[in-house]
Amino acid sequence: MTKVAARRSPARLVIALSVAAALAVFVLYTSIAGAGTPQIQPSDLPHHAGQVLLVGKVVSTSGDAHSHGGMRFVLRDVSHGSPARATVVYHGSVPDPYRIGREVVVTGKLRNDVFVANTDSLTTKCPSKYAPAKSKT
Amino acid sequence: MPALGRAALLLSFGLVLYALVAGSYAAWRRRRRLALSAQNALLASFLTTAIAAGILWAALARRDFSFVYVSQHISHSLPLGYALSAFWGGQEGSLLLWLLILSGYAALAVWLNRGTRELMAWVVPVLAGVAGFFAFMLCFVSSPFDTAPAPADGAGMVPSLQNPYMLAHPPLLYLGYVGLTIPFAFAMGALLSRRTDERWIVATRRWTLTAWTFLGVGQLLGAHWAYVEIGWGGYYAWDPVENAALMPWLAATAFLHSVMIQEKRGMLKVWNMVLVALAFCLSIFGTFLTRSGVVSSIHSFSQSPIGGWFLGFIVVCVVFSVALIYLRLPILRARTKLESLVSREATFLYNNLLLVAFCLTILWGVTYPLLTQALRGETRSVSKPYYDFFLHSFGLPLLLLMGIGPLVAWRRASVRALSRMFLIPFGVAAATGVALVAAGFGSSPPGLLAYTFSAFVLASIVLEFVRGRRATGSVVRLIGRNRRRYGGYLVHAAIVLLAIGIAGSSSYQTVREHALRQGQSMEIAGYTLTYNGLGSKQEANALATRATVDVSRGHSHVATLHPGKNTYPVEKTTSNEVSIYHDPRNLGDVFLIADQIDPNGTLYLKALVKPLVNLIWAAGFLFVFGALVALWPDAVEQRRLAERYASGAVAA
Amino acid sequence: MTLALVLGGVLALAAVAFVARPFLREPAPASDRLDEPGEPERRRLALAEERDHALAALKELEFDHRTGKVSDEDYRSLVGPLRRRAAEALRSLEPRAEGRHERVRSSR
């Protein structure tokens, strides 16, 4: 079978080729599929035209996500810095922890000043067990 | 009592600091009594840490809300089991659990290896260094023994954690994560003491396998918990905290295989050092990801100062390992060279490359948001499509290699031997592939490939057992004499079952959603689901609302399911309660989610049919069994090792 | 609070005593040197590992041959060098084993 010359170990060749192959696969993927989705907050939304991951805190909510008109909710930046607000229209499953004051993530696109979310793309952050202490009454 | 807890932790910190400083000095200057003293300090730190842990557990059991930690994580109405499990439910408690397991493992490792003094002289300071970091964090950054005026009731436990799986999942994961510290310490100890023999590998072989098994089972339990408790219909979401456990597991898998090459052929010494350091650093990185809030995850929430400390510690570990390996390169020369690209060594090498490549692509995906933020000022993230692509690109060849490896001989394999070995498994795979395409499974090429490769691997494993039995006379004797090899084959079989289960439940699942009024039905994948009623019941700590849905196949009724929601008054949240029917016909599930229940009784029902999903959980049992077989001590081998290291030692 | 202080104090004392134990047991030992394996010991260890590897490789080769993984020609070409390796390792270890028995006999 393959008896390679003992002078140089084929292991190095194999490693080099494999690393090159893995990198090639990786580069091919990222160039075709695009390098990730931008993750932004409501204050950045006007500057982004395509698909984005919108992260924000729920300020108000109305409507039914399973109805024709969908659920409409308003998000603000997670930190209190900006007065910017984003109005989101959403259809699909609503995670149980969802409510006013919760931080949520939703994927979609800005269309005519309203963020149209992809169906079933709403996720909420679990209130972290590792977050600093909140005062209790 | 909190004062005693704090004192115990301070003592632990003092003891491991002594073990680190005195131990390093003793190893460097070859002082016997000082080395023993450092060893004793490490042993004593387990006792003091256990006392601190006992105090916290007692406070949880007593519902002593003067402990801030206790008031933040439990309530009066929480059942005792869950109250005790709150030990690992938060930042400070889980850090204490980490230190407890680490000091316990360290004490055990020191005890078992007390004969090899010159190696342990260096292992002790390395273990003490790692323990010192966690003790420091517990004493000065994040203490579980902070007190405040006790409130009337605690904050309660997040409902999704009130589940038997959460009693087992974190401790098992930690037994895995922390277990990877032991082989790391022995490897670094061997380098520091300039030992070129395999003592460190022999001493840590079972530790690595045990830690790897715990980590694997911990992840499966976590996936099962996500499946039945969070209930979105899946079991793995490529969330950073999930990836945090997968990455060290992949690195440890690579290490388990490549260490066999070092034992048999004396090759890959540097690679093994790099792998064991990588697995350890990834385990610390994993816990850093989970705690720091630095990467946006469904689990993490806010930026925490603890992240900075962990990052600093990881940097120290990486720099230390790289520097030490680099400095000791001259003594890590290989005994032999790879003779053939078609040999078992070569397949192990390919498997290593694939495992590490997969591990690094996951690492890239997890840190991508951080890197893009730092380099471009804009956070970008990757998700399921990215991970799925690399799971297929690297996972499928890995699956195939699991079938090829056992059939190839060490050193080199001839064409004739290979063609004889491969004939039947190849035939089985080809027949399976054709049959599947004919049956319509061609709709998902990755799924089809996974099934076909799985058939190949299973056939090759079965053949190994058949041929081996023919050579030794009985399966029991076969396994008894070759525990590592055949235990390994059983573990491979478990991974194959896992792959089949994953392929079936993801590539071939069906999902339907419908709004149903009472009496209405919906169809999915041959099942009929009829919504027949709605009811509520007051439980211990929640109001349970359940819909009654009858499941039938054709005209026969197969099950009645009750998807719904629980409302928790103390925690002020609702949770999703899914209902699952396990179909013995296809080892799959009919999975129902009550997405929304309107006041007028309309049910928004989401139904998933997931073929073969139960193979994933069954695989877990075979996985543990195979690992136990591989771990089982062999008296003959133990005697031989004891004789080999007779001048200094007791074998591991 | 006082109970905690007392318990803490006792714990600390016990820990210190345990840590100091090696010094308390041997206040003036003949040698406080931590022995490291000298060159002859390291060579013996390397040879012992070499012998065990060769024997294990032989055992595995026999098994692979019996189960058909290794063809007859490959077996014939591989078994010779392996047996030689094992024999060499065994031979190199023997004088040392003899040497050890010598030392033990003379010390009695």
Q: What is the pLDDT of residue C96?
A: 56
Q: What is the pLDDT of residue B165?
A: 85
Same domain, B487 and B525: no
| Residue B418 CB neighbours (<10 A) | 18
Q: What is the pLDDT of residue B210?
A: 96
Q: What is the pLDDT of residue C106?
A: 43
Domain termination site, one of B94, B128, B160: B160
pLDDT digits (tens, 9 = 90+) for B322-344: 999 999 999 888 777 777 788 88
pLDDT digits (tens, 9 = 90+) for B217-240: 999 999 998 898 888 889 998 988
| Residue B598 CB neighbours (<10 A) | 13
Please, what is the average pLDDT of chain B? 90
| Average pLDDT rounded to a whole number, residues A24-49 | 81
Helices and strands (H, E) in chain A, number of each type: 1, 7
To the nearest 10°, report the CA torsion of C51, C54, C55, C60: 160
Helices and strands (H, E) in chain B, number of each type: 21, 11
Q: What is the pLDDT of residue A131?
A: 37
| Average pLDDT rounded to a whole number, residues B38-62 | 96
- Respond yes or no on whether ipTM tops 0.90: no
Structural domain spans, chain C:
38-108
Same domain, B536 and B482: no
CB-CB neighbors (< 8 A) of B155 in chain A: 136
Band of residue B303 on the pLDDT scale cut at 50, 70, 90:
low
> Distance between alpha carbon B547 and the CA centroid of its chain, in Å?
35
Residue B185 in any domain: the answer is no
Could you list the residue range(s) of the whole structural domain that residue A76 is in? 39-124
Q: What is the pLDDT of residue B651?
A: 36
Pairing of strands A37-40, A52-63: parallel
| Residue B355 CB neighbours (<10 A) | 25
Neighbours of chain A (3+ CB pairs under 8 A): B
Distances (CA, A) of B443 to B56, B324, B436, B438: 54, 51, 10, 11
Structure tokens that stand for B333 in this block = 């020369």
Helix H or strand E encompassing B335:
none
Helices (H), B473-482: 475-481
Band of residue A132 on the pLDDT scale cut at 50, 70, 90:
very low
Band of residue C66 on the pLDDT scale cut at 50, 70, 90:
confident
For residue B302, the one-letter residue type is S
Q: What is the pLDDT of residue C95?
A: 67
Asked if the C-beta of A118 comes within 8 angstroms of chain B's C-beta atoms, the answer is no
Percentage of chain B exceeding pLDDT 70: 97
Partner-chain contact C70 B417, CB within 8 Å: yes
Residue A68 in any domain: the answer is yes
Structure tokens that stand for B240 in this block = 């950073």
Distances (CA, A) of B95 to B90, B150, B155, B614: 9, 23, 20, 34
Residue B134 in any domain: the answer is yes
Q: What is the pLDDT of residue B284?
A: 95
Q: What is the pLDDT of residue A7?
A: 46
Asked if the C-beta of A94 comes within 8 angstroms of chain B's C-beta atoms, the answer is yes
pLDDT digits (tens, 9 = 90+) for B473-486: 899 989 988 899 99
Same domain, B490 and B518: no
Q: What is the pLDDT of residue A9?
A: 61
Dihedral sign for Cα atoms in the order B23, B25, B31, B34: negative
- The answer, yes or no, to whether residue C108 has pLDDT greater than 50, is no
Partner-chain contact C15 B15, CB within 8 Å: yes
Q: Which residue does chain B place closest to C47, by CA atoms? A: B644
Structure tokens that stand for C50 in this block = 């070499």
Residue B89 in any domain: the answer is yes
Pairing of strands B543-553, B564-568: antiparallel
From first CA to last CA, the distance across chain A in angstroms is 77
Burial class (CB in 10 A: 0-12, 13-18, 19+), B631: middle
Same domain, B554 and B603: yes
Band of residue B549 on the pLDDT scale cut at 50, 70, 90:
very high
- The answer, yes or no, to whether residue B301 has pLDDT greater than 60, is no
Q: Which residue does chain A place closest to B86, by CA atoms? A: A129
pLDDT digits (tens, 9 = 90+) for B405-458: 888 888 777 777 888 889 999 999 999 999 999 999 999 999 999 999 999 999
Residue B581 in any domain: the answer is yes
Contact B513, B524 (CB under 8 A): no
Same domain, B493 and B428: yes
Of the candidates C48, C53, C74, which has its C-beta nearest B264's C-beta? C53
Q: What is the pLDDT of residue B497?
A: 97
Q: What is the pLDDT of residue B238?
A: 92
B54: CB partners within 8 A, 6+ apart: none
Selected residue with higher pLDDT from B561 and C31 = B561
Selected residue with higher pLDDT from B587 and A25 = B587
Q: Which residue does chain C place closest to B44, by CA atoms? A: C15
* Stated pTM of the model: 0.91
Same domain, B496 and B602: no
Q: What is the pLDDT of residue B293?
A: 66
Selected residue with higher pLDDT from A15 and B647 = A15
| Residue B459 CB neighbours (<10 A) | 20
Same domain, B532 and B492: no
| Chain B nearest C-alpha distance from C12 (Å) | 7
B44: CB partners within 8 A, 6+ apart: B15, C14, C15, C18, C19
> Distance between alpha carbon B110 and the CA centroid of its chain, in Å?
25
Q: Please report, for the domain that includes residue A45, its CATH number.
A: 2.40.50.140
Residue B258: which of B275, B245, B246 has the closest Cα? Answer: B275
CB-CB neighbors (< 8 A) of B40 in chain C: 18-19, 21-22
- Partnered with residue B381 across adjacent β-strands are A37
Residue with tokens 């040879």: C47
pLDDT digits (tens, 9 = 90+) for B339-383: 778 888 889 989 999 999 999 999 999 988 888 888 878 888 888
What are the strands of the beta sheet with B588-597, ordered from one edge?
A: B510-516, B603-610, B588-597, B579-583
Residue A48 in any domain: the answer is yes
pLDDT digits (tens, 9 = 90+) for B553-594: 988 999 999 999 988 887 777 888 999 999 998 899 999 999
Same domain, B487 and B603: no
Q: What is the pLDDT of residue C107?
A: 41
Contact B34, B132 (CB under 8 A): no
Residue A84: which of A62, A66, A57, A108 has the closest Cα? Answer: A57
Same domain, B472 and B536: no
Residue B307 in any domain: the answer is no
Burial class (CB in 10 A: 0-12, 13-18, 19+), A4: middle
pLDDT digits (tens, 9 = 90+) for B250-291: 999 999 999 988 888 888 899 999 999 999 999 999 888 877
Task: Please state, in angstroms and rounded to a whole number, the distance separating the CA atoms of residues B62 and B56.
Answer: 10
Partner-chain contact A103 B301, CB within 8 Å: yes
Residue with tokens 């902070």: B146
Of the candidates B4, B43, B197, which has its C-beta nearest C45's C-beta? B197
Same domain, B493 and B605: no
Could you list the residue range(s) of the whole structural domain that residue B552 is in? 513-610
Task: Please state, in angstroms and rounded to a whole number, the distance separating the CA atoms of residues B609 and B603.
Answer: 19
Residue with tokens 């807890």: B5
Q: Is B522 helix (H, G, I), strand (E, B) or coil?
A: strand
Partner-chain contact A126 B301, CB within 8 Å: yes
Task: Please state, in angstroms and rounded to a whole number, the distance separating the CA atoms of residues A45 and A42.
Answer: 5
| Average pLDDT rounded to a whole number, residues B170-192 | 95
Residue B205 in any domain: the answer is no
Of the candidates B36, B413, B420, which has its C-beta nearest C22's C-beta? B36
CB-CB neighbors (< 8 A) of C56 in chain B: 264
Residue A2 in any domain: the answer is no
Q: Could you give the number of structural domains in chain B?
A: 3
